[in-house]
């Protein structure tokens, strides 16, 4: 569009009319080149929030955001082999650290661009930075080299990738328009589409420890993200997964890296191991690398059991700056991972107040405690403590004895009374064992 009246576009959306692809592109380009004012961006975001975005508008917005900056490019012979995964975030969610190398071991390329955590615990990048020397800021040329030699990398977003999203998100944050499903979809899928991948699996979490509390809203978001991904030519699938209790047994940055290594060595908790396999199996299936999701799950399981996924993690760590001896020591079966990873100065154990069965472990209570210990940040750029966090000694379904420890709190200097009370409230004990089962997957959304 040669000349655009942004007030007219705002009025059109405010009145509930559908914006055309050209109009959405004009608005997003105006954000990228600063020809639209911040007040106008805020007004348009509020109009989109109140009137919602159709599936067509959401896809057009996602495409325009993707095209607002640079997109990654890959050798032609990699076409059809580029895959990635995204999670909406949860407590103890370290899946990416295990799944990326497992996928690489299955022969696909994984250019994973991840983020930092805000609030409860660190994000994927923060967790990896607890490994001495690990670098998450790399050039696109270096990224290409790592994927060519290793098959996977996990790096941070550059400022040139989807710059309109960064500006829009900052304004969404101060205009109370963050939790709109269309805008969430555009923000997430645009960054994945800018990676120029062929297939994508989405882990959309619901429950007390997730951004989305109820499954109906999670299902709607999953459907929109699958639709937008497919609309941009990406084979996309989404899994709705439960986040009522922490995933795995570790919550905290270095602690979650340790648990990821143990899982890659075949010694991880069942719920984490199974979720990695479920996500990987669906992704390999929609990517056309496995004839079915069941066969895809077998491929991921084999990559972990034969050690090839662990070898990929070790190679990725070396390629991203970790000293080779450090990486080898971290990944060596039987070696103490905390001979490499930073460790907290003190451990405080909490005991079960009664005998019975664990019927619940409140994920949000654990998340809040972990953040207050220093494992997370309350504002962007704030330093975090890699060493602190929680180590669950029991999981839902286990029997606990009165007076026996159920959690270890890794802390710098003791446990304040308010955090102790918060964690004591997190453990729910019943007289009967809950229904068994370690799968957190509620359903699969194919679109």
Catalytic center residues? 86, 165, 172, 187, 191
Q: With left for phi above 0 and alpha for psi between -120 and 50, is residue 281 left, alpha or beta?
A: alpha
Q: Contact at 8 Å (CB) between 52 and 46?
A: no
Q: Contact at 8 Å (CB) between 5 and 40?
A: no
CA dist list (Å): 411 to 126, 346, 347, 372, 374: 18, 5, 6, 10, 9
157 secondary structure, DSSP code: P
Q: Which helix (H) or strand (E) holds 443?
A: strand 441-445
Q: Which helix (H) or strand (E) holds 308?
A: helix 308-319
Residue of 129, 64, 86 lying closest to 375 (CA atoms) = 129
Q: What backbone phi and psi angles, to 5 degrees, belong to 238? A: -130, 145
Instruction: Look up residue 209 and give its two tokens.
Output: 């420890």
Residue of 316, 315, 282 lying closest to 298 (CA atoms) = 282
User: How distant is the alpha carbon of residue 170 from its chain centre?
Assistant: 20
Instruction: Look up residue 285 and give its two tokens.
Output: 């299936």
Q: What angle do CA 397, 92, 271 make, to 5 degrees?
A: 40
Non-local CB neighbours of 233 within 8 Å, separated by 6+ positions: none
- Distance CA(93)–CA(305), nearest Å, equals 21
- Distance CA(414)–CA(316), nearest Å, equals 35
- Distance CA(229)–CA(223), nearest Å, equals 10
The sheet carrying 441-445 orders its strands as 83-87, 199-206, 235-242, 441-445
């Amino acid at each position: 569009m040669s000349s655009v009246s942004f007030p007219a576009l705002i009025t059109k959306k405010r009145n509930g009319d559908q914006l055309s692809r050209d109009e959405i592109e004009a608005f997003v380009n105006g954000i990228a080149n600063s020809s639209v004012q911040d007040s106008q961006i805020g007004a348009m975001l509020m109009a989109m929030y109140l009137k919602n975005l159709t599936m067509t508008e959401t896809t057009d917005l996602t495409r325009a955001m993707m095209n607002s900056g640079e997109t990654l490019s890959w050798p032609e012979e990699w076409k059809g082999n580029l895959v990635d995964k995204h999670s909406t975030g949860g407590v103890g969610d370290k899946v990416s650290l295990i799944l990326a190398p497992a996928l690489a071991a299955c022969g696909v390329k994984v250019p994973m661009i991840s983020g930092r955590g805000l609030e409860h615990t660190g994000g994927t990048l923060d967790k990896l930075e607890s490994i001495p020397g690990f670098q998450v800021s790399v050039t696109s040329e270096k990224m290409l080299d790592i994927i060519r030699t290793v098959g996977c990398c996990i790096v941070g977003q550059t400022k040139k990738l989807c710059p309109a999203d960064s500006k829009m998100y900052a304004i969404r944050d101060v205009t109370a328009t963050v939790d709109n499903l269309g805008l969430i979809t555009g923000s997430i899928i645009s960054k994945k589409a800018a990676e120029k991948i062929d297939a994508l699996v989405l882990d959309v979490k619901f429950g007390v420890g997730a951004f989305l509390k109820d499954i109906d809203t999670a299902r709607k978001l999953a459907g929109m993200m699958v639709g937008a991904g497919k609309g941009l030519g990406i084979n996309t699938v989404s899994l709705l997964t439960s986040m009522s209790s922490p995933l795995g047994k570790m919550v905290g940055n270095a602690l979650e890296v340790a648990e990821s290594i143990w899982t890659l060595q075949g010694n991880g908790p069942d719920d984490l191991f199974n979720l990695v396999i479920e996500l990987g199996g669906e992704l390999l299936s929609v990517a056309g690398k496995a004839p079915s999701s069941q066969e895809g799950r077998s491929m991921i399981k084999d990559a972990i059991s034969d050690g090839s996924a662990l070898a990929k993690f070790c190679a990725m760590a070396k390629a991203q700056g970790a000293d080779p001896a450090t990486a080898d020591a971290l990944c060596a079966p039987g070696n103490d991972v905390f001979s490499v990873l930073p460790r907290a100065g003190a451990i405080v154990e909490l005991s079960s107040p009664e005998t019975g069965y664990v019927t619940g472990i409140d994920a949000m209570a654990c998340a809040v405690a972990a953040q207050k210990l220093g494992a997370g940040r309350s504002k962007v750029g704030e330093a975090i403590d890699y060493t602190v966090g929680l180590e669950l000694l029991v999981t839902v379904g286990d029997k606990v004895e009165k007076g026996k420890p159920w959690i270890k709190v890794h802390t710098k200097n003791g446990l304040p009374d308010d955090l102790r009370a918060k964690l004591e409230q997190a453990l729910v004990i019943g007289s009967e064992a809950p229904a068994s089962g370690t799968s957190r997957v509620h359903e699969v959304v194919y679109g």
